[in-house]
């Protein structure tokens, strides 16, 4: 009789734990994920369309090229102003939130965590993050620039003095960030090519490596094995490397990228079973 009661108790414990796990899983799936796009100077459309069909995940797209209601010199936001805009977005959520940061978005996230360490996300996806320091960035950028063909160098030189052709120049540059070295349809019209110079002039010697320890346990770095920026970035974090993919995995291999995200959303729940 005692053994029967023990069996019932164990079954109740298992059923209760299973129910609690699924309740917690549903609750976590409700909190929004703020998407920090690349750049600086781009906007969300190039990544937004590839995050439109994930069930139970609500994405909030944080555009960084405009000043919105802030007072900015010449209509160009400063780095600290972008950080404060992100803080305002987080405070609107008023609860748990996640971050999905692509490329430069990871730099913005680390600066945000340095400035507001108490506003920590519950989970973080870093897809093809930018280098954590100015030294790394300059070394990698130099290697990328040296790989341009003479023909593309002429095109870049011609377009870089014409702000209205910013997106055309970026399309030429970004093909060197891909596995196949082919132009992608990135939907970059309206990009602000003046913003990178403004931002990086404010942080000429930045180094956010010491901030990596502030990232939450549920953090995943998504790498492309052909991404030139992945040479030195975020080496100690849990990562997933996608094959034959460069800097834009959500475009270069949409199916595999979606699978990685789905695995992350499901697997990370098990960490808190």
What DSSP string runs through 21-84?
A: HHHHHHHHHHS-EEEE-STTT--THHHHGGGS--TT--EEEE--SS-TTS--GGG---HHHHHH
What span, in angstroms and rounded, lies between the C-alpha atoms of 200 and 178?
Answer: 23
The DSSP letter of residue 247 is S
Per the domain annotation, does 110 fall within a domain? yes
Q: How many C-beta atoms surround the C-beta of residue 115 within 10 A?
A: 15
Evaluate whether residue 22 is within a structural domain. Answer: no
Nearest to 240 by CA among 256, 267, 260: 260
Q: Based on the structure, what is the number of domains in the chain?
A: 1
For residue 18, being part of any structural domain is answered with no
* Cα 177 from Cα 127, distance rounded (Å): 14
Residue 241 inside a domain? The answer is yes
Most confident of the ranges 66-75, 98-107, 164-173: 98-107
Residue 106 lies in a domain: yes
In this prediction, residue 26 carries a pLDDT of 40
Q: Give 41's pLDDT tier (boundaries 50, 70, 90).
A: confident
Q: Which domain holds residue 180?
A: 31-270
pLDDT category, 268, cuts 50, 70, 90? low
Q: How far, CA to CA in Å, does 46 sit from each of 39, 144, 190, 202?
A: 11, 21, 12, 26
Judge whether residue 2 has pLDDT over 70. Answer: no
- Summarize pLDDT for 144-168 with one digit per residue, the tens: 999 999 999 999 888 887 877 888 8
* 253 occurs within a structural domain: yes
**DSSP 3-state of 87:** helix
pLDDT top residue among 198 and 13:
198
CATH number at residue 142: 3.40.50.1820
Residue 39: closest CA among 72, 73, 70, 64: 64
Is the pLDDT score of 15 beyond 50? Answer: no
The arithmetic mean of pLDDT across residues 193-207, rounded, is: 83
- Mean pLDDT, all residues of the chain: 82
Tokens standing for 91? Answer: 């405070």
């Amino acid at each position: 009789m005692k053994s029967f009661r023990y069996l019932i108790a164990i079954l109740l414990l298992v059923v209760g734990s299973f129910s609690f796990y699924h309740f917690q899983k549903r609750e976590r799936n409700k909190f929004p994920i703020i998407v920090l796009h690349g750049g600086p100077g781009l906007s969300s459309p190039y990544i937004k369309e590839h995050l439109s069909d994930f069930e139970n995940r609500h994405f909030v797209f944080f555009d960084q090229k405009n000043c919105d209601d802030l007072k900015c010199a010449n209509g160009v936001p400063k780095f600290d102003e972008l950080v404060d805009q992100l803080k305002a977005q987080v405070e609107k959520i008023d609860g748990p939130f996640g971050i999905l940061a692509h490329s430069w978005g990871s730099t913005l996230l680390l600066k945000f965590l340095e400035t507001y360490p108490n506003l920590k996300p519950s989970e973080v996806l870093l897809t093809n993050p930018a280098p954590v320091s100015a030294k790394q960035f300059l070394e990698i950028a130099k290697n990328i620039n040296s790989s341009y063909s003479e023909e593309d160098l002429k095109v870049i030189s011609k377009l870089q003095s014409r702000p209205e052709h910013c997106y055309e120049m970026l399309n030429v540059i970004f093909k060197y960030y891909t596995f196949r070295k082919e132009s992608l349809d990135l939907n970059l019209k309206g990009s602000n090519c003046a913003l990178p110079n403004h931002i990086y002039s404010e942080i000429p010697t930045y180094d956010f490596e010491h901030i990596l320890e502030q990232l939450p346990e549920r953090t995943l770095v998504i790498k492309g094995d052909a991404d030139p920026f992945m040479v030195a970035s975020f080496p100690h974090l849990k990562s997933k490397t996608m094959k034959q993919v460069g800097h834009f995995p959500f475009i270069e291999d949409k199916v595999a990228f979606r699978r990685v995200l789905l695995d992350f959303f499901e697997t990370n729940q098990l960490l808190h079973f």
